[in-house]
Amino acid sequence: MGIAFFLFRVFENWFASNFDRPLFRHYFVYRKLPPSQLKILQNEFVFYRMLSEKNKKQFVHRMAQFLSEKKIIGREEVIITEKMKVLVAAIACMLSFGRRNYTYNLVDFILIYPEEFYSAINDAYHKGEFNPREKVIVLSWKDFEKGYKIENDNLNIGIHEFTHAMQLEAKQARDLDSARFSKHFQAILKQLMRQDVKDQLDKTRYFREYAFANQYEFMAVLTEYFFESPEDFKRIFPKIYEHTKKLLNFNFADY
């Protein structure tokens, strides 16, 4: 038994490094969402409607798992609704859908404020924040809603903050998903050193200024663009797009 398992792990690692994707990413266990939540998902979340039947089942399972593991808490006058739960879980599970490890080990709590909130970290108002020490993601609901409703403005605070949590996990963990994340992130940074890419960045001003604050913001902004305007992204920066896709192992819908 021990040896068989060991050999399986060896094969799995060999497969992942040769084919640049995991051997499998989902076991055949399917949890369900209550009908009220499933209805919200179907009505509100375009990505879900674009999935195959099999992937829909996986997606629902992952959301149910996510919601059973994380605590979503309202701040100020916010009372957490079914819709808030569904949409937060859906955004998180969409971003991690290509991964086997999809539940964000560095996040236990999601706090929701009605709008921009005061943050003591840098004495300013924020739309979102990831605090790894408290294992918490904080979101302004007003901005979260705008993020997923307006689908082509390249702003999506939910995707942005969950990417921060994923990237920090990739730095600390050694699983296959984290290894893939780190490998393709390095490749993206290498792209940024190329003169032709720098020229293209200057010429197009495609990515918003904030992306260049540091490498973590760059990655978080990249994923926002990846989900919000994949066609433009692919056309303007094909190599960076390809690495972002591989980093997320994202082969769903039309991405």
Nearer to Zn ion among residue 72 and residue 220 (C-beta): 220
Nearer to Zn ion among residue 41 and residue 166 (C-beta): 166
Residue 115 to residue 128: CA distance in whole angstroms: 10
Count the site residues for Zn ion by CB under 5 A: 2
- Candidate list 89, 93, 111, 220; residue touching Zn ion; CB under 5 A: 220
Residue 85 to residue 63: CA distance in whole angstroms: 9
- Residue 163: which of 242, 107, 86 has the closest Cα? 107
Residue 223 to residue 217: CA distance in whole angstroms: 10
138 belongs to the binding site for Zn ion (CB under 5 A): no
Nearer to Zn ion among residue 13 and residue 215 (C-beta): 215
How far apart are CB 219 and Zn ion at their closest, in Å?
9
DSSP 24: -
Whether the Cβ atoms of residue 129 and residue 163 lie closer than 8 Å to each other: no
As beta bridge partners, residue 112 has 74, 139
88 belongs to the binding site for Zn ion (CB under 5 A): no
How far apart are CB 227 and Zn ion at their closest, in Å?
15
DSSP 118: E
How far apart are CB 217 and Zn ion at their closest, in Å?
5
Nearer to Zn ion among residue 22 and residue 128 (C-beta): 128
Q: Say if strands 71-74 and 109-113 run parallel, antiparallel, or are unpaired.
A: parallel
Q: How far is CA 205 from the centre of its chain?
A: 24
Nearer to Zn ion among residue 37 and residue 167 (C-beta): 167
How far apart are CB 163 and Zn ion at their closest, in Å?
8
Whether the Cβ atoms of residue 109 and residue 137 lie closer than 8 Å to each other: yes
Whether the Cβ atoms of residue 144 and residue 114 lie closer than 8 Å to each other: no
Nearer to Zn ion among residue 38 and residue 192 (C-beta): 192
How far apart are CB 184 and Zn ion at their closest, in Å?
19
**145 is written with which tokens?**
């809603």
Whether the Cβ atoms of residue 90 and residue 70 lie closer than 8 Å to each other: no
* Segment interacting with Zn ion (CB under 5 A) among 56-64, 87-95, 219-227, 236-244: 219-227
How far apart are CB 164 and Zn ion at their closest, in Å?
6
How far apart are CB 113 and Zn ion at their closest, in Å?
16
- Residue 135: which of 169, 170, 85, 182 has the closest Cα? 169
Nearer to Zn ion among residue 61 and residue 224 (C-beta): 224
Q: Which residues bind Zn ion (CB under 5 A)?
A: 217, 220
